[in-house]
Amino acid sequence: MGFVFLVLLEGALLLSAGLIFMGGIRGIVAATVLLSGINYLVHDIEQFWRWQTPLLLGGIIGIILLLIVGRIANKTQVVSGLVGGLISLVLFGAFITPIVAIILWALVVGTGIIPRDKNSEVLWSFAPTILRLILGIGWIIYGNILTL
């Protein structure tokens, strides 16, 4: 595989993680479709279904987990602000050194990390964001293993 293909692949995998962060359940569906396309491009039909089955199961499990945690948290305003702040930090960090990214993030975005609510609300408000982070990282790892 050429260098350009690997750079485009990593860009697509970062895009899929960003879709999960920003879109939640719709993002998981879009990321699954994106990874299915990558799977189709790099494998023949026999290997395609060997890799596609765990990908679809992971998507279904991710959707169910987000539904359950989102219902328990039930704090859409807090979660949206947290996800927006965290995804902007990730995007700045992907293209700029981490120290400069944190400074620019604090100056430009200014989204607070810790909301001003009760402790139990703060903990449950972080649960969907952490779950989205884990699912996004999982999709990046699975996508990299998919192209081996």
Q: pLDDT (tens digit, 0 to 9) for every residue of the chain, 148 residues total? A: 678 888 888 888 888 888 887 778 888 899 899 999 988 988 888 888 888 999 899 889 988 988 888 887 765 455 455 555 555 555 555 555 666 666 666 666 555 555 555 656 666 667 777 788 888 888 888 888 887 7
Q: Collect all residues with Cβ–Cβ distance below 8 Å to 92 and sequence separation of at least 6.
A: 101, 102, 104, 105
143, 16 contact by CB (below 8 A):
yes
Report the pLDDT value the prediction gives residue 109, as an integer from 0 to 100. 58
Q: Which of 125, 126, 134 is nearest to 28 (CA)?
A: 134
Domain ranges of the chain: 3-146
What is the reported pTM?
0.64
Question: Which pLDDT score, from 0 to 100, does residue 60 have?
Answer: 92
Query: Residue by residue, what is the 3-state secondary structure of 44-99?
Result: CHHHHHHHHHHHHHHHHHHHHHHHHHHHHHCCHHHHHHHHHHHHHHHHHHHHCCHH
